């Protein structure tokens, strides 16, 4: 129960502050959930219709009161929300306009509305009632909602044919399409399944009253507190909460929608007595584990808030790290550029680790000042194998100082010059997601991507070594230069250099600057390939030719058979050298220096493939040539 306790503490520490944030960054009050609303209806405090509008997608996220059952509703007879909901609950005559209720209510199409009015009336008749809820009740009881929306041109009905006076499925007229059809088109997909249409519209409320500036029902704190007070006063089961150790009202069911508004998976769930989840060991679910209603609501709301605010999601996988106190901390799934706003301009990029180290130290110090050394940091990874069940696949609790130390170690040991595009260049560490794509391609399936990211997370959180097979996969793709687009290859090359540097950190201390004292075989061959590539590319640019160099096409073969590949490349350089003349004196000097540094036995060894170190030598030598070309009359690479 440690995880739910930490989330509960996080909620208590951050709820008051979050209420001052905008609607998209607020911690939900208990007994509330979020829905995507399509229509906003405005009434007055007497329940008279004042107007309506279609809500834009950007403003559609809506906080609404809910019950335990309505928050996780599903099936053929979904339970209604207490205030804002779909048309089948707010209108008793939806079928008169050709609308459809869910299949479980097909024989009693008015039941969703009658149940909604019954429960809303109970709230309004209680001592915890609120005038806005009473106004909504007064209006809904009139049964004029759909007529008012049609008269206001929000909903559209057919004017002729068999469906005259009925709601239109989809807009087929040549006239301008009404706004509601941009949200609920009703189009049929390739499998013959019709999408949402007008009768599926979700309605939220505004209630105007003289002297009150805030007419919204989703931001009214008094209205929210009124519903919480009423709902928690209802008779519910008491028992021992395993989280707080207190005798309190227990949760009967636990919230869903953790990763997104359509998420049906739960972290805590149990079957009813007809299933076999606890039969044979217990007689009822409360004997397995009791969690207080208040604790469950707050913990799940905190997790949902954290994932939306600072989490990383990809399909069913969700990753978040947070400080229980609410202090700002680094996002472990970010690359250095996103996390520390490192060097971005190519003109400012350094070729040593000095400036990068200074910037990294300054940024970590800033986080440390806000977080401190003893505050708790929690890392949680969620995943699900089925639509209804979710699991915590990784959970770590760290002290603030230890967490920052490990993040610092990752970014200072897995950094290299990264070139993602012409506009995005930085010095730093790639994100785990970028490493996965560099190793297996942009089109890797979700299962492989999740598995790779899960294997990379301990490299950050526990300072462990990057798995060898991932390193080798990155190297394999980096040498396939002729199979990749230019910027994709540039990105893979920078990521591979960073990954290899991290992988060998215990044995070697590679630097981004060209190391002329390093005499290893792979490093020297990498330098040779970079010079050959530079000479040919320079000559092609001079002639206005746009094609890959021989060095680029032979890079994969060069990695396996460097000696024989070099003979081919060297013979092919002669016409380019003749074309450039004396301009390439510096390149010739580099070639001579590299050849003199070789051990003859190493140079002639054509059976031993090059290690990933040759990519570091290639990258550093190419960067050195590029830097020199900019200094010499603005020559381009």
- The DSSP bridge partners found for residue 382 are 318, 392
The whole-number pLDDT of residue 180 equals 93
More confident residue, 422 or 471: 471
The whole-number pLDDT of residue 285 equals 67
Q: Which residues contact 68 (CB under 8 A, 6 or more apart)?
A: 251, 252, 253, 293
Instruction: Answer whether residue 511 is part of any domain.
Output: no
Confidence of residue 263 (pLDDT cuts 50, 70, 90): confident
Q: Read off the pLDDT of each residue in 107-125 and give the average, rounded to a whole number.
A: 96
**Phi, psi values for residue 502, rounded to 5°:** -65, -40
**Spatial distance between the Cα atoms of 179 and 182, rounded to a whole number of angstroms:** 5
Note the maximum CA span of the chain.
96
Instruction: Answer whether residue 423 is part of any domain.
Output: yes
DSSP-assigned letters across all residues of 188-213: B-TTS-B---GGG-EEEEEEE-TT-S
Residue range(s) defining the domain that contains residue 452 = 311-503
**Phi, psi values for residue 317, rounded to 5°:** -85, 130
Q: Tens of pLDDT along 28-71? A: 999 999 899 999 999 999 999 999 999 999 999 899 999 988 98
**Same domain membership, residue 418 and residue 286:** no
**Spatial distance between the Cα atoms of 460 and 463, rounded to a whole number of angstroms:** 5
Residue that terminates a domain, selected from 477, 503, 529: 503
The whole-number pLDDT of residue 280 equals 62
The whole-number pLDDT of residue 636 equals 45
More confident residue, 281 or 178: 178
Q: Is the pLDDT of residue 149 over 50?
A: yes
Per the CB < 8 A criterion, the answer to whether 533 and 622 are in contact is yes
**Same domain membership, residue 249 and residue 228:** no
Instruction: Answer whether residue 351 is part of any domain.
Output: yes
Look at phi and psi of residue 411 and say left if phi exceeds 0, alpha if psi is from -120 to 50, else beta: alpha
Q: How many domains does the chain have?
A: 4
Q: Is the pLDDT of residue 350 over 50?
A: no
Confidence of residue 26 (pLDDT cuts 50, 70, 90): confident
Residue that terminates a domain, selected from 263, 289, 310: 310
Per the CB < 8 A criterion, the answer to whether 83 and 65 are in contact is yes
Beta strands 238-240 and 247-249, pairing class: antiparallel
The whole-number pLDDT of residue 346 equals 43
DSSP SS3 for 446: helix
Q: Is the pLDDT of residue 347 over 50?
A: no
The whole-number pLDDT of residue 262 equals 78
Taking alpha carbons only, the member of 427, 452, 457, 451 closest to residue 438 is: 452
**Same domain membership, residue 481 and residue 336:** yes
Confidence of residue 544 (pLDDT cuts 50, 70, 90): confident
Beta strands 376-386 and 39-44, pairing class: unpaired
**Same domain membership, residue 304 and residue 326:** no
**Same domain membership, residue 224 and residue 105:** yes
Burial class (CB in 10 A: 0-12, 13-18, 19+), 356: buried
More confident residue, 601 or 582: 601
The whole-number pLDDT of residue 274 equals 60
Residue 165, token pair as written in the block: 């006076």
Q: Read off the pLDDT of each residue in 291-315 and give the average, rounded to a whole number.
A: 92
**Same domain membership, residue 245 and residue 185:** no
Instruction: Answer whether residue 516 is part of any domain.
Output: no
**Phi, psi values for residue 278, rounded to 5°:** -130, 0
Per the CB < 8 A criterion, the answer to whether 4 and 266 are in contact is no
**Spatial distance between the Cα atoms of 145 and 21, rounded to a whole number of angstroms:** 33
Taking alpha carbons only, the member of 320, 364, 323, 319 closest to residue 340 is: 364
Per the CB < 8 A criterion, the answer to whether 114 and 92 are in contact is yes
Look at phi and psi of residue 224 and say left if phi exceeds 0, alpha if psi is from -120 to 50, else beta: alpha
The whole-number pLDDT of residue 634 equals 47
Taking alpha carbons only, the member of 478, 485, 495, 632 closest to residue 558 is: 478
The whole-number pLDDT of residue 239 equals 85
Q: Read off the pLDDT of each residue in 165-171 and give the average, rounded to a whole number.
A: 88
More confident residue, 174 or 500: 500
Q: Tens of pLDDT along 431-478? A: 999 999 999 998 888 899 999 999 999 999 999 999 999 999 999 999
Q: Read off the pLDDT of each residue in 324-346 and give the average, rounded to a whole number.
A: 76
Q: Is the pLDDT of residue 128 over 80?
A: yes
Q: Tens of pLDDT along 231-257? A: 988 867 788 888 888 888 888 888 888
More confident residue, 364 or 46: 46
More confident residue, 273 or 438: 438
DSSP helix, strand, coil percent of the chain (3-state; round to 5): 45, 15, 40
Question: Residue 228 half-sphere exposure, CB side, CA atoms within 13 Å?
Answer: 16
What are the Cα distances from residue 125, in Å, to 2, 130, 232, 431? 40, 10, 16, 55
**Same domain membership, residue 177 and residue 265:** no
Confidence of residue 272 (pLDDT cuts 50, 70, 90): low
Residue that terminates a domain, selected from 282, 310, 338: 310
The whole-number pLDDT of residue 194 equals 65
Instruction: Answer whether residue 456 is part of any domain.
Output: yes
**Phi, psi values for residue 449, rounded to 5°:** -65, -45
**Same domain membership, residue 483 and residue 434:** yes
Helix (H) or strand (E) holding 594: helix 585-597
Taking alpha carbons only, the member of 105, 78, 106, 109 closest to residue 93 is: 109
* Mean pLDDT, all residues of the chain: 88
DSSP-assigned letters across all residues of 508-543: ----SS--TT---HHHHHHHHHHHHHHHHHHHHHHH
Per the CB < 8 A criterion, the answer to whether 364 and 404 are in contact is yes
Per the CB < 8 A criterion, the answer to whether 76 and 104 are in contact is yes
If one counts every other C-beta atom within 10 angstroms of the C-beta of residue 27, the result is 21
**Same domain membership, residue 288 and residue 328:** no
If one counts every other C-beta atom within 10 angstroms of the C-beta of residue 289, the result is 15
The whole-number pLDDT of residue 344 equals 45
DSSP-assigned letters across all residues of 556-578: HHHHH-HHHHHHHHHHHHHHHHH
**Same domain membership, residue 208 and residue 67:** yes
Percent of the chain at pLDDT > 70 equals: 90
**Same domain membership, residue 462 and residue 363:** yes
Q: Is the pLDDT of residue 191 over 60?
A: no
Instruction: Answer whether residue 514 is part of any domain.
Output: no
Beta strands 39-44 and 202-208, pairing class: parallel
The whole-number pLDDT of residue 188 equals 65
Per the CB < 8 A criterion, the answer to whether 543 and 579 are in contact is yes
If one counts every other C-beta atom within 10 angstroms of the C-beta of residue 308, the result is 17
> The pTM is what?
0.84
Instruction: Answer whether residue 254 is part of any domain.
Output: yes
The whole-number pLDDT of residue 155 equals 94
Per the CB < 8 A criterion, the answer to whether 86 and 39 are in contact is no
**Spatial distance between the Cα atoms of 34 and 84, rounded to a whole number of angstroms:** 11
The whole-number pLDDT of residue 374 equals 67
Q: Which residues contact 116 (CB under 8 A, 6 or more apart)?
A: 80, 85, 89, 90, 140
The whole-number pLDDT of residue 635 equals 47
Per the CB < 8 A criterion, the answer to whether 206 and 40 are in contact is yes
Instruction: Answer whether residue 199 is part of any domain.
Output: yes
More confident residue, 567 or 175: 567
DSSP SS3 for 379: strand
**Same domain membership, residue 599 and residue 577:** yes
Taking alpha carbons only, the member of 160, 153, 141 closest to residue 179 is: 153
């Amino acid at each position: 129960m440690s995880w739910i306790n930490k989330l509960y503490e996080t909620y208590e520490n951050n709820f008051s502050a979050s209420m001052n944030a905008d609607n998209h960054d607020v911690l939900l009050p208990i007994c509330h959930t979020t829905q995507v609303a399509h229509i906003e209806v405005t009434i007055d405090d007497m329940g008279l219709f004042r107007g309506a509008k279609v809500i834009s997608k950007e403003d559609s996220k809506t906080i609404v009161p809910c019950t335990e059952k309505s928050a996780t509703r599903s099936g053929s007879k979904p339970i209604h929300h207490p205030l804002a909901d779909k048309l089948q609950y707010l209108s008793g005559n939806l079928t008169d306009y050709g609308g459809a209720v869910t299949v479980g209510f097909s024989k009693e199409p008015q039941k969703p509305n009658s149940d909604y009015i019954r429960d809303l009336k109970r709230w309004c008749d209680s001592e915890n009632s609120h005038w806005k809820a009473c106004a909504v009740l007064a209006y809904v009881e009139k049964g004029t909602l759909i007529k008012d929306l049609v008269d206001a041109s929000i909903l559209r009905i057919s004017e002729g044919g068999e469906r005259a006076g009925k709601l239109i499925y989809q807009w087929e007229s040549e006239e301008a399409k009404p706004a509601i059809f941009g949200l609920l088109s009703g189009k049929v997909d390739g499998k013959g399944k019709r999408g949402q249409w007008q009768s599926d519209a979700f309605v939220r409320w505004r209630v105007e009253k003289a002297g009150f500036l805030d007419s919204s029902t989703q931001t009214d704190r008094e209205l929210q507190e009124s519903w919480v007070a009423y709902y928690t006063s209802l008779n519910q089961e008491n028992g021992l909460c395993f989280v707080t150790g207190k005798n309190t009202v227990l949760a009967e069911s636990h919230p869903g929608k953790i990763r997104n508004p359509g998420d049906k998976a739960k972290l805590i769930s149990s079957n009813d007595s007809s299933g076999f989840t606890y039969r044979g060991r217990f007689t009822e679910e409360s004997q397995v584990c009791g969690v207080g209603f208040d604790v469950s609501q707050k913990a799940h709301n905190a997790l949902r808030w954290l994932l939306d605010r600072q989490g990383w999601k990809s399909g069913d996988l969700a990753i978040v790290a947070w400080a229980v106190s609410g202090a700002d901390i680094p996002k472990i799934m970010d690359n250095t550029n996103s996390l520390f706003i490192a060097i971005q301009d190519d003109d400012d990029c350094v070729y040593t680790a000095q400036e990068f180290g200074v910037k990294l130290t300054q940024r970590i110090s800033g986080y440390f000042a806000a977080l401190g050394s003893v505050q708790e940091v929690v890392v949680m990874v969620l995943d699900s194998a089925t639509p209804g069940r979710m699991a915590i696949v990784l959970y770590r609790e760290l002290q603030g100082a230890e967490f920052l130390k490990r993040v610092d170690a990752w970014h200072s040991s897995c950094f290299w010059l990264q070139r993602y595009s012409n506009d995005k260049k930085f010095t730093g560490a790639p994100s785990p997601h970028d490493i996965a794509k560099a190793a297996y391609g942009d089109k890797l399936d979700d299962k492989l991507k999740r598995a790779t990211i899960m294997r990379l997370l301990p490299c950050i959180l526990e300072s462990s070594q990057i798995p060898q097979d991932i390193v080798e996969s990155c190297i394999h793709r980096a040498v396939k230069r002729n199979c990749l687009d230019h910027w994709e290859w540039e990105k893979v090359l920078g990521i591979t250099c960073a990954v290899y540097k991290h992988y060998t950190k215990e044995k070697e201390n590679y630097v981004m600057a060209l190391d002329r004292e390093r005499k290893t075989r792979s490093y020297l061959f990498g330098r040779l390939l970079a010079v050959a590539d530079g000479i040919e590319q320079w000559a092609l640019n001079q002639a206005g030719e746009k094609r890959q160099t021989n060095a680029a096409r032979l890079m994969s073969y060069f990695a396996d058979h460097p000696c024989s590949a070099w003979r081919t490349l060297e013979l092919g350089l002669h016409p380019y050298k003749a074309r450039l003349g004396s301009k390439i004196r510096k390149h010739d000097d580099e070639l001579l220096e590299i050849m003199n540094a070789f051990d003859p036995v190493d140079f002639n060894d054509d059976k031993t493939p090059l290690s990933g170190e040759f990519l570091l030598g290639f990258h550093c030598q190419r960067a050195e040539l590029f830097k020199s070309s900019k200094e010499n009359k603005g020559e381009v690479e």
